[in-house]
Amino acid sequence: MVYFVATPIGNLGDISLRALETLKSADVIFCEDTRHSLKPLNRYEIKKPLVSCHKFNELSAAEKLADLAAEGKTVAVVTDAGTPVISDPGNLLVRTLRERGLAYTLVPGACAFVAALVLSGFPADKFAFLGFLRGKTSEKRAFLKNYADFDGTLLFYSAPQDVDSDIALLSEAFGNREACAVREITKVHESAEYFSLAAGLAGEKRGEYVLLVQGAPKRENPLNSLTETEHIRHYVEQGMSEKEALKAAARDRGVSKSELYKFTVKDKR
């Protein structure tokens, strides 16, 4: 059995009892960076064989992991911090296990972008996590263009040396929106700083960042400038039945169909 185990993103106390039990019972632990993973493992006196699994050797590591699982070994997979697969190695491992029909599961826990969404206070009913901006500048611009009209909160990971250039690209793609930079989550210097994309984020950049950007402002439907009767009649003239037109107009105006029904009666009179 293979267990993908979430580990703390800062405070080493943020680990579940199930995660500790899983790591202690594992025959081998696959780590993004074995040196980094030794710190939490030593903290909890967990001594297991470690295998390096990072983006440069993920293919060979996936085959090794699958072979061990096929032999009946209990394997745990961790990344440097947080939940495996989320902007970290692991997706290829999951795909390999699935293709070979081998059992795997997740031991959930800390995830930086989820914590940042909570700390920011930005709308959390609709959001898109887009990870690190990758590739050439032109590729980043093209990628961001796809989300210019998304009306939910947008979340990005950003390394300290990239924060200023990332914010400049976000401003170029989305205009001057409110943003928030969350850093050092669960650590002593945890902070959430609010700023406008046009002004940028002031100060020296230290630690890993989660950048949050408010969604695109809602665009007013031009049909809403019509009277209620004209609005319904517009859809009828487009070929809709009166019932369909009533539903469409109500959706446009953000009201219930019952609120507009009286205008269909009035129109008939």
Instruction: Output 148 or 248, whichever has higher pLDDT.
Output: 148
Which residue bears the tokens 């590729």? Answer: 139
Confidence of residue 245 (pLDDT cuts 50, 70, 90): confident
Which amino acid, 79? T
Strand-strand pairing, 50-52 and 28-31: parallel
Strands ordered across the beta sheet of 191-196: 127-132, 153-158, 209-213, 178-183, 191-196
What distance in Å separates the CA atoms of residue 165 and residue 154, rounded to the nearest whole number?
Answer: 17
| pTM, entire model | 0.80
Q: Give the phi and the psi of residue 241 in degrees, each rounded to 5.
A: -70, 165
55 pLDDT above the threshold of 90: no
Which residue bears the tokens 């950003």? Answer: 158
Mean pLDDT within 218-236:
79
- Ordered structural domains, the chain, with CATH: 2-110 (3.40.1010.10), 113-213 (3.30.950.10), 222-268 (no CATH)
Confidence of residue 203 (pLDDT cuts 50, 70, 90): very high
Residue 127 is given by DSSP the state E
pLDDT of residue 250: 80
pLDDT of residue 268: 55
pLDDT digits (tens, 9 = 90+) for 127-183: 999 999 999 999 999 999 999 999 999 999 999 999 999 999 999 999 999 999 999
Token pair recorded at residue 213? 């950007």
Q: Among 7-16, 226-235, 257-266, name the most confident range.
A: 7-16
Average pLDDT over all residues of the chain: 92
Transcribe 58-103 into DSSP letters: HHHHHHHHHHHHHTT--EEEE-SSBSTTTTSTTHHHHHHHHHTT--
pLDDT digits (tens, 9 = 90+) for 97-109: 999 999 999 999 9
